[in-house]
């Protein structure tokens, strides 16, 4: 019979490893808080061995650990009215309610002229298609997966180029008011690569009337990203994509005036400003 000895590491090495592990766990960067319609509220939920379940407007909310404390990362819908709002948590039998304030934000207006009149006033056949596609898109953006595919809620830019349309713009197409801009437009060169901003699972792809060729990626716990107007899609539903992996190329399909990628970010089924989930390094690079 063989005697199997368990390797013994020097105490100093064990202590160093524990310190490094603790430092890495505490170095997780949270998104930028901006408690406005289309923004993010970050709520300190305290300490505990297990993450509590959190809900806002009866929808589950991402909970992450930072500096040995749990934090709820709450996406605030663009349609939210300013004032006091409430987050509900549950840890076992223990329930708690947290109040937070949402303040107003005035977004600028944008007037766009389109030559394709059907992209402004679709016909009956177009509307039938649009209603069918809307169900698929809504289901993707509201999807919840307990698996946290990404290591944090922070994302990389999916394409290289200047921002041509910021988040939240009150849009007018050919003088007619439409829904606010629920993402940002990156004016990257046509056929340049679009890459995954973090690890995730592809939950929907397709060619849509307004959005053109589009990809939807689930990064876990209600964090969904969407990419629209692509010339080509390089992934399929069910694929696990890694940070930086190419998912397609920039195009001008759907309702567009030129090549770009529309990048949308959804948290707990609320469309939020993608700038809030970019790291300081990413924002500095974008500003150059």
**Could you report the per-residue pLDDT of 221-256, keeping only the tens digit for each?**
999 999 999 999 999 999 999 999 999 999 999 989
Residue 114 sits at the vertex; the CA angle it makes with 122 and 129, to the nearest 5 degrees, is 25
Instruction: Please spell the DSSP secondary structure of 172-187, one letter per residue.
Output: EETTEE-PPP-SEEE-
d(CA 63, CA 274): 18
Distances in Å between the Cα of 282 and the Cα atoms of 178, 197, 253 are 30, 11, 27
The superfamily CATH assigns to domain 29-102 is: Peptidoglycan hydrolase domains (2.60.40.1590)
pTM: 0.85
pLDDT digits (tens, 9 = 90+) for 110-156: 777 777 777 778 889 999 999 999 999 999 999 999 998 988 899 99
Rounded percentage of the chain residues whose pLDDT exceeds 70: 86
Q: 109-287, what's its fold?
A: Glucose Permease (Domain IIA) (2.70.70)
Q: Do the Cβ atoms of 56 and 268 come closer than 8 Å? A: yes
> Which of 237, 229, 226 has its CA nearest to residue 264?
226
Region(s) of the chain under CATH 2.70.70.10: 109-287
């Amino acid at each position: 019979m063989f005697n199997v000895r368990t390797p013994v590491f020097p105490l100093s090495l064990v202590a160093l490893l524990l310190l490094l592990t603790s430092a890495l766990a505490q170095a997780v960067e949270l998104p930028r808080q901006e408690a406005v319609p289309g923004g993010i509220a970050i709520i300190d939920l305290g300490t505990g061995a297990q993450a509590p379940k959190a809900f806002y407007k009866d929808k589950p909310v991402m909970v992450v650990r930072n500096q040995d404390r749990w934090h709820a990362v709450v996406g605030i819908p663009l349609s939210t009215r300013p004032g006091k709002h409430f987050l509900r948590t549950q840890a076992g039998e223990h329930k708690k309610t947290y109040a937070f304030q949402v303040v107003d934000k005035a977004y600028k207006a944008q007037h766009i002229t389109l030559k394709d009149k059907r992209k402004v006033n679709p016909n009956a056949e177009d509307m039938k298609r649009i209603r069918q596609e809307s169900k698929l898109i809504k289901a993707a953006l509201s999807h919840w997966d307990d698996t946290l595919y990404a290591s944090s809620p922070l994302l990389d830019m999916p394409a290289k180029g200047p921002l041509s349309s910021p988040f939240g713009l009150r849009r007018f197409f050919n003088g007619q008011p439409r829904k606010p801009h629920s993402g940002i437009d990156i004016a990257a060169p046509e056929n340049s690569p679009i890459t995954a901003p973090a690890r995730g699972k592809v939950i929907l792809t397709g060619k849509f009337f307004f959005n053109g060729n589009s990809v939807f990626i689930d990064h876990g716990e209600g964090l969904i990203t969407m990419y629209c107007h692509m010339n080509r899609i390089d992934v399929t539903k069910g694929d696990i994509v890694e940070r930086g992996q190419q998912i397609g190329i920039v195009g001008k399909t759907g309702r567009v005036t030129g090549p770009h990628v529309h990048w949308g970010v959804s948290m707990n089924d609320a469309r939020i400003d993608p700038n809030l989930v970019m790291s300081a390094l990413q924002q500095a690079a974008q500003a150059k």
